Amino acid sequence: MPRLTDARKELRRAQITEAAVRCFSRNGLERTSIADITAESGLSTGSIYAHYRNKADLVQASAQAVLAKRAEVLGDYAASDTPPDPDELLARLVAAINPAEARVGVQTWGEATTNPAIHAIVVDMIDRMRAMVRDCVTAWLVKVERLAPAEARERAHPIADRVQDLYLAQLLLTALNSPNSPNSPTEEASS
């Protein structure tokens, strides 16, 4: 059997994590099985296990994939000549929220309260996102507000924390109001 190239392995891993996110969003973390992810991805169970040891690995990979998307966007904002101010940064982050990813994120937060492995993933992801938001706010303070880098880093902390907290609150609201959520406005209207 031919071996997969590194690029092909990454494509396959992405295919699996995207299928996992769809399943987690639709069925919930607890009710999603590897068999569900296998069916959703169109791959064999052996292929899933060749890339991931278990469902916890898939949850971690899914969270990292979502964070990677935000990291790319935040990195672009911070690197631009005129990074967005905190209000605009928050508006852009909120506009980019994917309801399916929001549902998976909120489910992952819930699982983090009882599962130490998931807890570590969630804390790491939130901390990494907070650091990226802080970098973006720091860049805005330096490039637009013309503060010295040391002062900008110091002043960025509370501003970035507020942006991150408001973003997480909006993520929760999006998850609660999305079409696949129980008692969402869409489901109530169709009942």
Q: Give 12-30 pLDDT, tens digit per residue.
A: 999 999 999 899 889 888 8
What average pLDDT is seen over the chain?
Answer: 87
Structure confidence at residue 76 (pLDDT): 85
Cβ pair 17, 61 in contact under 8 A: yes
> How far is 187 from 182, CA to CA, in rounded Å?
7
Higher pLDDT, 153 or 100: 153
Evaluate if residue 182 carries a pLDDT over 70: no
Evaluate if residue 185 carries a pLDDT over 70: no
Structure confidence at residue 112 (pLDDT): 87
Averaged over 157-167, what is the pLDDT? 96
Amino acid (1-letter code) at residue 159 = I
Cβ pair 105, 175 in contact under 8 A: yes
Structure confidence at residue 140 (pLDDT): 96
Q: What residues contact 157, with CB distance under 8 A and at least 6 apart?
A: 134
Higher pLDDT, 107 or 190: 107
Alpha carbons within 13 angstroms on the beta-carbon side of residue 90 total 15
Q: What residues contact 68, with CB distance under 8 A and at least 6 apart?
A: none
Evaluate if residue 191 carries a pLDDT over 50: no
Structure confidence at residue 143 (pLDDT): 94
Structure confidence at residue 104 (pLDDT): 86
CATH number belonging to the domain at 6-179, selected among 3.40.50.880, 1.10.357.10, 1.20.1250.20, 3.30.360.10? 1.10.357.10
pTM for the whole structure: 0.78
Quick one: which of 113, 124, 126, 109 has its CA closest to 167? 126
Evaluate if residue 99 carries a pLDDT over 80: yes
Length of the chain: 191
Domain boundaries, the chain: 6-179
